[in-house]
Each structure stands twice: as C-alpha cells, then as structure tokens.
Amino acid sequence: MRPVQRRQQGLQYGLYLLCMQAINFGVDRIPPATLIGVILQALLYTGLIKVPWNAEDACISAVKLFKYRDWRSFIVSNFEHGSDMHLYYNMVSFILKGSYLELMYGTTDFVLLLALLSFGCSTMYVFLAYVLMQFTGDYGYYTMCAIGFSSVLFALKVITICEEHDRSHDIGGLRVPSKIAVWVELALIHLLVPNSSFVGHLGGILVGCLYCYTFVGELIDNLIYMITGIPVIHEEQFYRRRNLGFR
C-alpha cells in the first residue's frame, strides 16, 4: 500500500475489528510468533512503540535504495501500515496463514522464515521497480513508495497453497483452483483497491514461488536448519510424524 499521513494514536475502527476477529478465531489458537507479530505491528501502527521514523518515511522505493542508500526502509517498510483498515486486513490474513504454517514448521523456524521472506520481498520489490522502469521508461516505477506486510503475506499464501496441494480456495466469494488462486487475488486487489501496491504483491508471489518451486526453497530450508538446528517439516512430513505420535 502507498503510504498516507501518519496514523493517530488510539483505538481506531480497524483495530477494534482486529481485536474482535482475534477473539472470534480464538487467541489461544494463534501460535506465539504469529500472535506476537500481530500485536507488535498493531502497537507500531498506534504509535505505542516509539520509533525514530514516520510511517510515510519508512516506505520502500528503488530510488531510496539506489540513490539515497536508505537501508532502514528496506527493513521496516514491511511492518508499517498506511491505515487502520490496511492493518486489519493484513493481520487477519496473517493470523490465518501463520496459524497453519507456524504449527507445521515450528515457531523458531517460522520466525526465521518470516525474516528471510521479508528480506526477499524487499529485494524483489526494488528489483521489479528498477526493471519496470528500464523496460517502460516510466520513472514512476523507480520512485513509487510502498509500505505494509502484504508482500510477505502473498509469499505466505503461495507457500500455504504449495503445502495444501490441490485444494480449492475462496477468493472474493469465487471458488478457484489453488494453482491460480494467488493470481486471481492479485488481479482482484489491483482492480478493487486502487491504492494497493501491485508491484509489491507481485514481488511477494514471486518470492513464494521461488521458495516452493525452485532450488531456492531447499537452500533456505538448509540455512534455517543450520541456524536453528531444527529441520523444516513440510506438510507430508508433518502429518506423517503426527500420525506416528511424534511432536
């Protein structure tokens, strides 16, 4: 999402909806890393976590990286949000995806995977913006600025679909095959939410595809294992272990 004016402190409607959704889902059913991630991003949005930047200053763009060497935005842009409803939709999506994937991968591996996905999504966003500027001659791609967790969520959605294999998905009331679900969602969001970042969402999808369908995924799993000492367990392995009584 493109950055807007700095949020105001206080319980806005989107935050209220987020609290209600978390309660309805069951706070006790949300794994710890996912729950902490939701809480920290909500506190960051409200300003209760004091940081030395404004939300609009934290947005990521190719020009900020290549020309101004603004590496802070490369890291923090994924965790800032432009409005309370932007935060609400992203965190509800995160609760659903995190509750599935964190349970499967384990908290430690899931946290490290999130960190690597965040880095990958920022890299992909800057890369796509630069390439699009070169191919189209439109300098707007080079300067466009975006914030939000959406790109990471799109990467998580690809991974979730990959783990679930051929289950159909509900996208805006439409039942679509899993293979095209993320692409349908990308198109719908682009059409229905004009202020959304198409390049950011596309970048998240590509990062998720790299993890699921190329050798990059194996490299990331091996790196996570080297750091944590805990192997990344995917769906078939996860259910096989659970059926045998392992935890």
C-alpha dist (Å) from residue 171 to 42, 90, 91, 176, 184? 25, 15, 17, 7, 7
Alpha carbon distance 229, 146 (integer Å): 35
Active site residue 81: no
Q: Name the active-site residue from 77, 150, 196, 197.
A: 150
And the tokens for 224? 């996570």
Active site residue 150: yes
b/e map 126-155, b = 16+ CB within 10 Å: bebbbebbeeeeeeebbebbbbbbbbbbbb
Do 150 and 1 touch, CB atoms closer than 8 A? Answer: yes
Alpha carbon distance 63, 67 (integer Å): 5
Q: Name the active-site residue from 81, 86, 169, 201.
A: 201
Alpha carbon distance 214, 185 (integer Å): 22
Do 96 and 29 touch, CB atoms closer than 8 A? Answer: no
**Catalytically annotated residues:** 150, 201
